[in-house]
Structure 1
């Protein structure tokens, strides 16, 4: 049986205070369901622990898929989201996969979280899977390996691109340009030919998804790769 850690945000508003944000629901529900079907252990944690808000944009009819709707209407699941464990609580536990979910809230409480950086460095250097989707990829930006190099330097990676940010009408709200920040770290940035379409990039024990529309494929790839367990560590 595998043991998976899903990390979510605690942030419910942009810095401007004008708009609500939070977790993009499908970026959690698809991997959650896939793991549950396999009867794997699933832990949901957040930087501070406690409640993770759901971005109201992710609940709109055009993007709320059947799986996400099912979980949003599940009192048991929503109770899990209301009582996440903190990163400090789980930092010494062992997981086969650490998966950073997205939503714009993650841009505020993932990138500079030292505990998260430590957890991800240990996971990566122990040749275990690190996965991130959409804005959650920002949580990888400042992780340094024991040799001082950025963990993502030279790796094939994707994440929510700047044009998609324009389409989402959040360009003037977000704290930074994720696509540009990733490129500054020396990654090989890979984006879908058509914006807002599924794109998953697997590079050894590092797997990233571009946007919410990658949620389903991300879950499939993560499960498939975890069942292989044949990573070759690159540093």
Structure 2
């Protein structure tokens, strides 16, 4: 599968959290964000975390020896999007994750934002699924984690609808994190083609543009597309999860981009 990678911003030589005071290499730490929402506005229509958006990234980070933790707006259970568990969306990685009891426990017992010290993480990664359109955008706890991780030199990343979590995050100077930044995420065309445009609460692509983000998307829907703008890494859709995580790894390995 071909992935479009659009990148801007140079990289510094070192990453602030790369070494301990004793100059020992430290393991990077990734904070995954997942949803607590289990259905659309109509309770009879289930939704939740799109599992592969977590499992593909988790696998990439685990292969590098990174420590990983899950957080959700309310803590506790993160429901799964039923469609993500069926063919053709449920791949080997997703099936293996569900078969592992330890992994299942991670999704049953996620932390709350107020239980997380953002100073301990090198990157935050927002997973998607339509569920996040309800509980990500206005969650003050997630906004605090995102702001503090970014402002201490960390990476902010998202995949698919995960960019809903970036919509309203403001930096300490009061500016929106996404204003003027190159961003991608699930497009309105993809919402229409997926048959859910009438079920979602808003057009997140439009919302991003209204906040001053420079939204970009692939020419072909449902193809892998990743945009890197400094220390903000965003993937367009479920097909982009692996490549998004790989770009986060690249930044952590080579050093965080210097421009903010």
TM-score (norm 1): 0.96
Q: Deviations over 1:7-41 (max 9, x none)?
A: 10000001122310000001100111111111111
Equivalent residue runs for 1:160-179 within 5 Å: 160-179=186-205
Alignment match, 2:21: none
Higher RCO (C-alpha under 8 Å, 6+ residues apart): 2
Aligned partner (choices 62, 75, 96) of residue 36 of structure 1: 62
Structure 2: unaligned runs, 5 residues or longer: 1-26
What is the CA deviation profile of residues 160-218 of structure 1, one whole-angstrom value per residue up to 9, with x for unaligned ones?
00010011111111111011001001111110000011000001100000000101211
Match of 2:236 in 1: 210
1:156–1:190 Cα contact (<8 Å) kept = yes
Moved over 4 A (4+): none
| Mapped partners of 1:58, 1:76: distance in 2 | 20
Distance 1:222 1:56 in 2: 28
Match of 2:132 among 95, 106, 117: 106
How many residues align structurally? 234
Paired residue secondary structure (1:207): strand
- Larger CA Rg, structure 1 vs 2: 2
* 1:202 match: secondary structure: strand
In structure 2, the partner of 1:221 is 247
Q: Report the secondary structure of 1:30's partner residue.
A: helix
Distance 1:154 1:8 in 2: 26
Deviation for aligned residue 1:79: 1.1
Residue segments in structure 1 that go unaligned for 5+ positions in a row: none
Contact 1:127/1:232, CA 8 A, preserved across alignment? no
Quote the RMSD (CA, aligned, Å). 1.1
